[in-house]
Amino acid sequence: MRTNKLNGIFVPHITPFTREGDIDEDALRTCVRFWLKGEVSGLMPCASNGEGPYLLRDERKKVIETVLDEVNEKVTVIAGTGSMSTKETILFTRDAKDLGVDAVLVVTPFYFRISNREVYEHYKTLLEAVDLPIIIYNAPKFTGFALEPTVIAQLASEYDNMVGVKDSGGNVGTIAETIRLVGDKVSVLAGTADVALSTLMAGGTGAVIAVANVFPKICKDMYTEFKKGNCERAGKLQQQICYINEVLVKKHNQLSALKEGMKIQGLPSGYPRKPVLPLREEEKKDIEDLLKTMR
C-alpha cells in the first residue's frame, strides 16, 4: 500500500448546503469541476472544511459518492471518516471503502480528553479492522489533542496500511521531527497553509490546505515551482498563500469565509450548516478586498 506516496496539493473541500441545510449535489459537482481545473492532486470530502462532524452517516455517503462520480478517477479521493468514537470511525471508514475511495483521512477522537495510549489503541483498532490506506490527521485546534511524532512512528512501523499523516498543528519543528521518524515510510502532508512550503523543504510530500478551495491553482503552482527547484518563485507564491490564509482561515470562521470566497468567484458554494452562519456584510468586504488583490 505504500508503493505510491501522496504527493502534491489536496483540497479538503467544502460541502455546499442549500439555505434549508440540505446537501446541494449539483452545486458540489460544479465545485469539483472547478478544483479539477485547478490541477490539484486530490480531493478530500467530509473532512473539517466539508463540515464532516455536522454530516449524518447517509449524508457522508452521498457526498463521497457524488465526488467519486464527478472525479471519475481523474485524481485521488480521500474521504474524511474520523469521529468521536472508535466504533463510529470504523463504521464511517467501511462505508467509504465500500464506495471506492482511494484512502481515508482520520482525525484524532475529539470532545473527551484522551491520552497517547488511548489514541494509539484507537488507530490500532481501526487499522486492523479496515483494509484500506489510512492517513492520520493531527488537528489540535479542532480536537484539543496534539498527536506526538512518536505515536505516529509506532503506528507506521507496525501497519502497512498507515500511509500518511496530515499535520495541522502548524509547528514546523514537530512536522520536521515526524518526517525524520517516518518520512521514509509514509507521506507527511502539511495541514495548514502557512507551513506548506516549509513542510516541503523539510522533506514532506505535499499539503492539504483549506485555501485551495478558493485558490487551487496558486497552491498547485507553489508545489510545482518547488519541485522544479524554483525556490524563489515558490517562496513568492507561499507569501500569497499565507496572506490568503490570514483572511480566509484565521480572521473569520473559515467555513463561512471559504464559501464566501468561492461565491464571489461565481461558484455555487452554498451556505454553511448551522450553528455556523454566513458572514456579515462587513466581513464579506474583507473577502471581496482579498480577491481584488489577487486578480
State how far the alpha carbon of 8 is from the alpha carbons of 19, 236, 253, in Å: 34, 18, 26
- 259 in catalytic set: no
Q: Would you call 44 helix, strand, or coil by DSSP? A: coil
Helices and strands (DSSP H and E) totals, the chain = 12, 8
- 166 in catalytic set: yes
Q: Which residues contact 2 (CB under 8 A, 6 or more apart)?
A: 160, 163, 185, 186
- d(CA 196, CA 164) in angstroms, rounded, equals 16
In terms of Cβ atoms closer than 10 Å to its own Cβ (0-12, 13-18, 19+), residue 212 is buried
Q: Are 25 and 61 in contact (CB under 8 A)?
A: no
Of the candidates 137, 220, 223, 271, the residue annotated as catalytic is: 137
Residue of 98, 87, 107, 102 whose CA lies nearest to 43: 102
- d(CA 263, CA 257) in angstroms, rounded, equals 10
DSSP 271: B
- d(CA 206, CA 282) in angstroms, rounded, equals 34
Of the candidates 166, 259, 263, 284, the residue annotated as catalytic is: 166
Residue 53 is placed in which grid cell? 462532524
Residues recorded for the chain? 295
Catalytic positions are 137, 166
